[in-house]
Amino acid sequence: MIVVDIETSGLDFNKCGIWQIGALDLNNPENQFLEEARIDEEDEIQKEALGLTGKNEEELRDLNKQSQKQLLENFFKWVEEIKIKNFVCENPQFDIGFISTKARKYGLKIGFHHRAFDLHSIAQTRYFQINKKFLFDFDHSDLGLTNILQFVGMRDDRNAHNALEDCKLEAECFSRLVYGKSLFLEYQKFKIPDCLKKNDNL
């Protein structure tokens, strides 16, 4: 399985661009992908995206960087070498939707399976098994990555979003939620809650 995270210039698949893709092979976590590109001339930039990434418009439109098409071609070539081509994402609708939309724009063959593992849904399922309720904030789910990290015994120390860093955090959360164990040495300093170590009922 492939843990994937992207950084974009906004939330609209059709109007905004992808400037960074991060990924790792869950079965071989040291096999990682991280590349950046310039967004297209017609792509919009939303203010909120700049705040999340710590980037400015000049950086996102840097002509010294490869094109989005080349970025996707490189990513799809990397994906070809992975045995299980299902994505694991915190929000698959966003990441897969963006990648698929851009691939169609450039006439590229989509090299991954359409089914994905949603980290949010997995986290809510484990939360319900333990607490006998789902975690909501008024009218919507309250298990974004920050709260999932807290649930699995970690903390969110990110200053600005980076696709590969987010991938590693998501992969670590997946491992703790599903297997009850840590994936990366750097995160072993964070103790796994006892309730997640007991996975006999999964």
What value does the mean pLDDT take over residues 145-149?
A: 96
Strand, coil or helix: what is 157?
coil
Beta carbons within 10 angstroms of residue 195's beta carbon: 15
Q: Which pTM was predicted?
A: 0.93
pLDDT in tens, 52-61: 888 999 999 9
Q: Do 154 and 165 form a contact (C-beta atoms < 8 A)? A: no
Mean of the per-residue pLDDT values of the chain: 94
Q: Delimit the CATH 3.30.420.10 region(s) of the chain.
A: 2-116
What value does the mean pLDDT take over residues 123-132?
A: 96
Domain made up of 2-116: CATH architecture: 2-Layer Sandwich (3.30)
Residue-wise DSSP of 57-122: HHHHT-TTSPPHHHHHHHHHHHHHT-S---EEESSHHHHHHHHHHHHHHTTPPP-S-S-EEEHHHH
CA dist., res. 46 & res. 28, Å (int): 35
pLDDT at 7 over 80: yes
